[in-house]
Structure 1
Amino acid sequence: MRTTETVTETVGVFSALLLDMDGTLVNSDAAVERIWRRWADEHGMDFARVLPVVHGRQGFATMAELLPDRPMEENLRENALLLAEETTDVAGVVEIPGATRFLASIEELPHALVTSADAALAKARMTAAGLRMPDVQITAESVRASKPDPEGFLKGAAALGVHPWDCVALEDSAAGVEAALAAGARVVGVGPRAAALEATAHVETLEQLRVTPAPEGGARVTIAR
């Protein structure tokens, strides 16, 4: 009788973890698509053109890319309305498989949430998914620039008192992976969107990811295949 052996891949040893939310800890795709499909319809856009731009970015940055001639003030105003709408629309928001176990495994290790959501939306979606909110949070209010700018990850590392190159970031989107790499972190891509991206490593879900205290200090990150 043949048995399937588990192969373990070591990502490395790090001082801290920087965690994206949507698509990484929380599956909010249904809510995101509802909100942005309505936005696309209101602006006479093909939703298939809008969706690839949405993931990972703040709403105003998505609008700026899709409507390059529109004043930023109008993007910011409309983004505030969308954020309020998203905060109340959490139907279908669930955890990414393995997220509860993963967050429990890193509770005593330095980690920060680095999300393009504002604080209210982050709380609403983490609560809807039944997930623990990290104590350190870098949200939309914390930064001037949206992912793919590295500002959020740089601020997350600074808030934890570590260098960004001594961090591993978890991300699912092209904008997020680009931002984390630009900050100097190594990146584990999570889920199908990240499979073709240039992350350091990739997992289908958080069920494959293991984080344990390293004897030499910090956290050892491995992947079970």
Structure 2
Amino acid sequence: MPKASLTARALLLDMDGTLVNSDAAVERIWRQWAEGHGLDPDEALKVVHGRQGYASMAELLPDRPMELNHAENAEMLARETADVEGVVPIPGAAAFLASVADLPHALVTSADAALAQARMTAAGLPMPEVRITAESVGASKPDPEGFLKGAAELGFTPADCVAFEDSAAGITAARAAGTLIIGVGPRALPHSPDLHVPDLTHLEITAAPDGLITFRRRAS
């Protein structure tokens, strides 16, 4: 069972599904892609959340050369960056980011820098100063590289950090990195995060003078 509270010293924040609800745009673009490759769109959508596009393609088309996945991923990123219709903040995201503005935190997203900026702007959210995007890593979630780099950029060990995630790939990456995990939304719950909230309105954050940050799930 997820805990009701936990403590950490730094935050590693996924974007899509955690701060920003981009499901409408993701589903539009990936349904078209799946249909174009003769795949079941509903099955494809079970794979794509949390991963970089080329990694999703490799899962869905395992016999295809990786260079084709990278080339097509570049096209997909351009389409996703241009299509922000329906991109909105996760409930409570603005207040949440305001509450952690002076705390050590980093964005750790599978989006590239342009897509991250486009979606955060569309959702009306401030971009964290420290950010690990697709360009920052050599391997996509569920590989832990992004979270390890985020912790290092903030000057903390992974064990001192809590990762906020919504997807199976992201939670697997955070667990492999050795961070605590707060799961946000329905996709996260089946993957046993340390603490789970339906959205960010259900989370209370308090910071002690010694830098220890406590996260509590608000009672429904």
TM range (shorter): over 0.9
Matched residue, 2:197 = 203
* CA deviation map 1:17-56 (0-9, x unaligned): 0000000000000000000011011101110110000000
Larger radius of gyration: 1
Q: In the aligned structure 2, how far is the partner of 1:104 from the partner of 1:217?
A: 17
Deviation at 1:213, TM superposition (A): 1.2
The amino acid across from 1:123 in the alignment is Q
Distance 2:216 2:80 in 1: 34
Query: In the alignment, which of 157, 164, 180 is matched to residue 163 of structure 1?
Result: 157
Residues 116-158 of structure 1: per-residue CA shift (max 9 Å, x gap): 0000000000000000100000000000000000000000000
Matched, 1:9 2:4: yes
Two-structure CA RMSD over aligned residues (Å): 1.0
TM-score between both structures, scaled by the size of structure 2: 0.97
Could you tell me how far apart the structure 2 residues matched to 1:212 and 1:146 are? 32
How does 1:54-73 map onto structure 2 within 5 Å? 54-73=48-67
2:112 aligned with 1:111: no
Q: How far does residue 210 in structure 1 lie from its aligned partner after superposition? A: 1.7
Normalising by structure 1, report the TM-score: 0.95
Equivalent residues of 2:20, 2:89 under 8 A apart: yes
Asked if the contact 2:4/2:195 (under 8 Å) is kept, the reply is no
Query: Which residue is equivalent to 1:183?
Result: 177
Shift of 1:176: 0.2
Structure 1 stretches lacking a partner, 5+ long? 1-7
1:42 maps to: 36
In the TM superposition, residue 221 of structure 1 has moved relative to its aligned partner by: 1.4
